[in-house]
Amino acid sequence: ARNLICGTVASIPLEYYKKSTGEVIAPPRWINQLSKSQPSFVTLSWIVDSLLFYGVSYLLVTERYAEDGRPASFEWVANTRVTFTTDLYGITVTQYYIDASPVDMNDIVTIQGFDEGVLERGGRTIQAAIDVERAAAQNSANPQPAGFLKNSGADLPPNEVQGLIAAWKRARQNNSTAYLTSTLDYSPVSFSPKDMMYNEAVQNLSTQVARAMNVPAYYLSADQNTTMTYANVQDERKQFYALSIEPYIQAIQTRLSMDDISTSGHEVRFAVYDTFLKNDPLVELQVIEKLLGLGLITTEQAMGMTDLTPNGSEGM
């Protein structure tokens, strides 16, 4: 679920717009590459990861433009590296620290999420999933049934009992043959994986994780079959965008559009409709054809809408 959300958001490119006209304009350098040390896809993936799991993401400004002091390059900082102090009321952050070293408050950009993060609100669900997976793996690795040793002879001293149990346990772990005396008997307490309900537990927790991550459950369920056509794939993308990834897109693009990062009158947007939510080409051509027929656009504008180079013009 994490890879589905982070990978999808990070694969959508950023664009720079003029607010008054909605025109795409020449962007600052960081629009195409947020960090000098890694591609923007990687940086955006970890920004979304932080928002998803912790509810906040941190960027460190590593370079600024000389003319106005706005950021020219960033570095994503893992949440586990960041600490902070607050005022007496615990409301306002007074100082940020990275690896316990104070940093200039102007060099930390915080991108706020819409909740406290999955680790906080879904921690018990995640722990339960880990426990079930561990139990199922242990059962698969050790096919010998669980049970107990019964002594029908004289009682043994505690140290001998512990040694006997340890030797039996080692033999079971190594799948080797164990020896019992005439006074000792092994009574298995055998439960099959079906009796242990591992499959049902895994399926149920998969649904719970999907709820926590706000992802359709069938995206995470390997045993559910769905019949997808091009048309309903487009509808699924629209639903996935609206319900699962739009909050992260809005959190990032609105923060990067604020005046301390972008110049006044400009804004940052993800190119969602040109990439992820692009219409069926046949539907798009029908719309363009009607616009041409009504005289609302020119042939060159129509060619530009289909990413074709207008006649006599340079490639866009």
pLDDT of residue 312: 46
For residue range 189-232, list pLDDT tens digits in order: 655 555 556 778 888 888 899 999 999 888 887 555 555 555 57
For residue range 229-271, list pLDDT tens digits in order: 555 777 888 889 999 999 999 999 999 999 999 999 999 999 9
As a whole number of angstroms, the distance between CA 147 and CA 12 comes to 55
pLDDT of residue 51: 97
As a whole number of angstroms, the distance between CA 80 and CA 98 comes to 9
Q: For residue 316, what pLDDT band results from cuts at 50, 70 and 90?
A: very low
Can you point out the beta strands (E) in 19-143? 23-24, 56-64, 71-77, 82-86, 93-98, 101-102, 108-112
DSSP character at residue 38: B
Alpha-carbon torsion (289, 293, 296, 302), positive or negative = positive
pLDDT of residue 296: 84
Question: What does the pLDDT average to over 286-302?
Answer: 83
Is the distance from CB of 275 to CB of 268 less than 8 angstroms?
A: no
Is the distance from CB of 71 to CB of 63 less than 8 angstroms?
A: yes
As a whole number of angstroms, the distance between CA 11 and CA 181 comes to 66
As a whole number of angstroms, the distance between CA 47 and CA 58 comes to 8
Give 118: exposed, middle or buried? Use CB within 10 Å, 0-12, 13-18, 19+. buried
As a whole number of angstroms, the distance between CA 6 and CA 273 comes to 18
Nearest 5°: the CA angle 5, 28, 31 is 10
As a whole number of angstroms, the distance between CA 48 and CA 214 comes to 14
pLDDT of residue 121: 92
282 versus 76: which is more confidently predicted?
76
87's tokens = 């005022």
pLDDT of residue 116: 94
For residue range 130-162, list pLDDT tens digits in order: 998 888 777 666 655 566 777 777 787 888 878
Q: What type of residue sits at position 225?
A: N
24's tokens = 């795409």
DSSP-assigned states of every residue in 216-285: -GGGT-TT------HHHHHHHHHHHIIIIIHHHHHHHHHHHTSTTTSPTTEEEEE-TTTTTTPPPHHHHH
DSSP character at residue 301: H
For residue range 72-105, list pLDDT tens digits in order: 999 999 999 999 999 999 899 999 999 999 999 9
175 versus 275: which is more confidently predicted?
275
